[in-house]
Amino acid sequence: MQQYLDIKQDYPDAFLLFRMGDFYELFYDDAVKAAQILELTLTSRNKNADNPIPMAGVPHHSVQQYIDILIDLGYKVAIAEQMEDPKKAVGVVKRDVVQIVTPGTAVDALNTGKENNFLVAIDRDQTSYALSYLDLATGEFFVTSLSDFEAVVDEISALKAREVVTGYALSSEDVQGKILETQLNVLVSQELIGFDNADLIDYSLADLEIAVASKLLNYVMTTQKRHLTHLQAVQHYEIKDFLLMDAASKKSLDLLQNARTGKKHGSLYWLLDETKTAMGTRMLRIWIDRPLVSASAIQTRQAIIQTFLDHFFERSDLTETLKGVYDIERLASRVSFGKANPKDLLQLAQTLSNVPAIKGVLTDMQAEVLNHLINQLDPMPDLHELITSAIDPDAAATITEGNIIKNGFNATLDDYRVIMRDGTTWIAELEAKERENSGINNLKIDYNKKDGYYFHVTNSNREQVPDHFFRKATLKNSERYGTEALSRLESQMLDARENSASLEYDLFLQVRDQTETFIARIQKLAKTIAEIDVLQSLAVVAENNHYIQPDIIKNGQEIHIINGRHAVVEKVMGAQEYVPNSIEFDAETMIQLITGPNMSGKSTYMRELALTVVMTQIGSFIPAEKVQLPIFDAIFTRIGAADDLISGQSTFMVEMMEANHAIRRATKNSLILFDELGRGTATYDGIALAQAIVEYIHEHVGAKTLFATHYHELVTLENSLQHLKNVHVATLEANGEVTFLHKIEPGPADKSYGIHVAKIAGLPSPLLKRAKVILSELEADTPKLQTKTVVQETPTEMQQLDLFAGSDELAEAVRNLDIMNLTPMEAMNQLYELKKLV
């Protein structure tokens, strides 16, 4: 127990799994908490003592499933192993922690096969931040610089990190720590010391980038406690090299998962995923998450997709060949971790055997644009030969029980196998020979662990026992005898059995060590196969759904989408039901102000444009008759209303923060989508803010903007803002019934049709009739609100304060606010002060 306490002292923030024989035990608070979380039986050590020690344990062969549960819940797990054979140990068996598994370093955890698990580190100086991340399962390692903590939060959200390592101390009161832990729901760890490794760290990077990458590396080395040969050299990247989208925008556009269900179904990822390999699936997610901003790189992808579309039969062969490809990117990490088993190596060999076929199919297409992929397809014949000559095709996953090395690979092992195979024949021959020579008809050779091989002779035949027999054991009715020949055979067979298993284990480790020298080439091959897989997937989707190749207008500002469709909605609904819409922005148009009723298709129209941009900049083909687009550098959205309950922010506060985020960061090359901005506050406040935001974008930002609103008062802005145009959703009204045509047409809408939407929702007829009466009274500006209203027995609730009314002091305070340069946190503080003033 003292040994346990000494080790636990070094890992206070982790569950310590303490190996004792066939079990991993937990003690004290670890045991109490783990018993509850893992549904284990809580027992105790020293039960008769005054203070028995709480204890819970799990069998060593099933420990991984328990580790997975703890990691999935955001805990750390330290694994303490027995470092010597208990039979040979003098005193207490030596134990030590061999690995600390954390949410960001888990490589064996459940459900990680088709998704990256990125561990993120952040560091800061007086003016900026640096962020580094790696995936321990694939070896990918990146670093970048960021201007502020808001950008850091966006990047952590985009990476879907579960653990963040801070290169600086965070106090319990630090706002950053609260944002990381509560809003992003990540485990925050700390590492203040860097790891000096010239092979992995590029020392020409900025000082802060070197610091954060080396601290991340040190955290990994400290937790994994081994040399990891599969980690790749750190790659610098710039946020501006990809289409910028914050977490809220990605969520509202359903890029990687459906925002409503949290599932893959109904997302762009679901639509585009026709990949055949786990590596391709992960790369597709990355491409969707980080669309390109380089026109030439996008056009290269388009050209390859078109080549695949032009070669249907070759592409079919390619698809079949990819089905035989295993996740060699993760196999490489298993080799590096020393966890690869014979089946892993056989899967690697199977993949390598498919590479020449993949290469052949691409070569047959005779397209110059494929040459860079073809040249990177490395079949590694020497590695393939090593594995196929060494590992038995029927080898089991375990490496300690033999039967994993092929016959003919090692002469000594072959000799052992001959002895084991022929030994039983030799025993039978000896038995027959001695039976004949002795005349004992029922003489036979038996075996047990205590006496080994022996001749079994009943008491009735004892007089016939030959002189060269020697007694091994006496039983009630029989005797057990041995001979020199039998002992010699027994020694050979037992030696062969023990030595062959040990030799096979050693031979397998040699093969695995040799495989480790190929890791860099395996990783490069994995990236190439993944890229081929994603591009064939996009070709299949384009062909199945009749997509067209978009044209990229370099240095242009016009948008021409003729009869475009929202790709995901169309896939869910079916092409026959979907109503296409054209989206046109000439060089002079900057903002489209969209009016029209709810449920008529405004949001779908807006998302159609955003999704078309994302798909184009991935390199994908598009559901439309014709598409011409410029390259966008960012997409900012505010679509849909939702309170942020975790951080205690109302719908309106979230709206304003996201609007501020967009306005401050957007450029003339960005795309902004605002849906009914300002509806979270009082009507006049909302109109005033909406109009001010539209005017600000028009005068100061210059981004292409779709602004959907119910405030019909805003349609007059077309008269005063040169680059704004009104569009609306067309409706058909006949015999008192309204049909939404889901078509966008020029000009403003003349009605909102809110009561009609309420009718569709099934509200009671008397309620709808009353609403029509009230509406006509309001429109006539002669409201008679006292009629047919419930008598209030309590004072009526105070209406929301008009922001523009109040004392002179309040008005002056509001007037002096520099709204456009406030951070979200400063805005909340100012709002708090204003509230106190009121």
Distance CA 387, CA 583 (A): 57
Q: Which of 229, 47, 269, 42 is nearest to 136 (CA)?
A: 229
Judge contact between 554 and 532, C-beta under 8 A.
no
DSSP helix/strand/coil, 226 = coil
Chain position carrying tokens 């009629």: 787
- The first and second tokens of residue 476, run together, are 């009630």
596 labeled part of a ligand binding site:
yes
653 labeled part of a ligand binding site:
no
Q: Give, for 724, the enclosing helix (H) or strand (E).
A: strand 724-734
Judge contact between 729 and 600, C-beta under 8 A.
yes
Q: Long-range CB contacts (< 8 A, 24+ apart) of 260-269?
A: 266/568, 266/572, 267/568, 268/567, 268/568, 268/611, 268/614, 268/615
Distance CA 537, CA 281 (A): 10
Distance CA 579, CA 564 (A): 9
Distance CA 529, CA 521 (A): 12
600 labeled part of a ligand binding site:
yes
194 labeled part of a ligand binding site:
no
Residue 572 CA from chain centroid, whole number: 24
380 labeled part of a ligand binding site:
no
599 labeled part of a ligand binding site:
yes
Chain position carrying tokens 């990177």: 376
Chain position carrying tokens 């901005």: 677
Q: How far is CA 237 from CA 130, 214, 224, 246, 270, in A?
A: 11, 16, 26, 17, 27
Looking at 148-195, list the stretches that DSSP marks H as alpha helix, in order from N- to C-terminal side: 149-159, 175-178
Composition of the chain by helix, strand, coil, percent to 5: 45, 20, 35
116 labeled part of a ligand binding site:
no
Residue partners of 818: CB distance under 8 A and separation at least 6? none
Distance CA 172, CA 170 (A): 7
CA atoms within 13 A on the CB side of 203: 6
Gyration radius from the chain CA atoms:
36
Strands, E, within 568-625: which ranges? Answer: 581-585, 591-595
Q: Which of 711, 704, 747, 710 is nearest to 726 (CA)?
A: 747
Judge contact between 132 and 143, C-beta under 8 A.
yes
Judge contact between 95 and 24, C-beta under 8 A.
no
Secondary structure (DSSP) of 54-107: EEEEEEGGGHHHHHHHHHHTT-EEEEEEE-S-TTT-SSSPPEEEEEEE-TTT-S
564 labeled part of a ligand binding site:
no
Distance CA 338, CA 342 (A): 12
Kindly report the backbone phi and psi dihedral angles of residue 689, in degrees, each rounded to the nearest multiple of 5, phi listed first: -65, -45
Chain position carrying tokens 């040399």: 227
Distance CA 301, CA 369 (A): 9
Distance CA 288, CA 309 (A): 21
Distance CA 609, CA 421 (A): 71
Binding residues: 596-603
Binding residues for ATP: 596-603
